[in-house]
Amino acid sequence: MTVDYRANDPATGRTVVLTIPSEDSPDSPILLARFYREARAAGALQHPNIIAIYDLGVDRGSPFITSELLEGSTLEQIMEREKSEGTQSTKSAATFLDYILQVSRGLAFAHQKGILHRDVRPGTIFVTKTGTAKLTNFAFARLPQATSRPYGNLVGTIDYLAPEIMCGDHVDGKADIWALGCTMYEVLTYTRPFHGEKMTEWMFSIMSQEPKPLRELRPDLHLEIDEIVRRALKKDRHERYKNAERLIADLEPVVLRMQSAASAAAE
């Protein structure tokens, strides 16, 4: 529903991304609200693992956002390339988990500011050419002053929605942790943890079924990784990681060990 342009900011001289609603975009108050929400949410967060928003305004009746120019690929694109090339390995798993670790730091910061992303997935994680992972696309974010919506107004991408969202229960940062758990599972196995052809089937899978154990699909990975993903995907949010900081505490030493092992093997 939007168009991005590479542009020059005459005030600062830097190259930016200029985002405006597309001409084909429906004149919808809901879509316009999402447009503004993305700028306000990401604009309130200055963190190396979150895309930087520079400005939000209206020019000749058309709203616009200027943001940081990112060069690289989304995590989804990287995963698809690796899948097609058949280059899956313990080394690449360490790289993927490092991206997840970086984004977890961005999420922890957002949650501290009272902002929920609500659409964490491989397609909203961007990896720059220098290997920095950044969380993007805050169109579905919940701002600090907002309240949870009741059941019937599902927000986000169905494949990554936490059970409490389906039930209309209290939603907090643990829903983003669930989505991050889904993302970890997907980038490590090339398959999503929950499946369904129709929305009702997706919901049933998320609410009632357990994903195939990670170790069955990736026996080359350490059991600790399986345990981290399992905890992130606990259906009862009270059994899930309490916050992103707890997830980081478990994931960081695993990533460091995997990177060290990969470096030693390359020597």
> What is the tens place of the pLDDT at every residue in 38-86?
788 888 889 999 999 998 888 888 888 899 999 999 999 999 999 999 8
pLDDT greater than 80 at residue 179 = yes
Neighbours of 109 (CB within 10 A): 18
Long-range residue pairs from 140-148, CB within 8 A, at least 24 positions apart, any chain: 140/34, 140/37, 141/37, 141/38, 141/41, 141/42, 141/115, 141/116, 141/117, 142/115, 142/116, 142/118, 142/171, 143/37, 143/40, 143/41, 143/114, 143/115, 144/113, 144/114, 144/115
Domain range spanning residue 27? 2-68
Name the DSSP class of 133: E
pLDDT of 150 = 42
pLDDT greater than 50 at residue 31 = yes
Q: How confident is the model at residue 146 (pLDDT cuts 50, 70, 90)?
A: low
Residues 154 and 259 in one domain: yes
169 is known as an active-site residue: no
Which has the higher per-residue pLDDT, 159 or 125? 125
pLDDT of 155 = 66
Catalytic residue among 98, 119, 176, 226: 119
Residues 34 and 77 in one domain: no
CATH number at residue 97: 1.10.510.10
Name the DSSP class of 1: -
Residues 76 and 61 in one domain: no
Domain boundary, last residue among 23, 44, 68: 68
Percentage, residues of the chain above pLDDT 70: 93
The string of pLDDT tens digits covering residues 73-129 is: 999 999 999 999 987 888 899 999 999 999 999 999 999 999 999 999 999 999 999
Number of domains observed in the structure of the chain: 2
Query: β-pairing, 62-68 with 53-59?
Result: antiparallel
Residues 62 and 82 in one domain: no
Instruction: Tell whether pTM > 0.85.
Output: yes
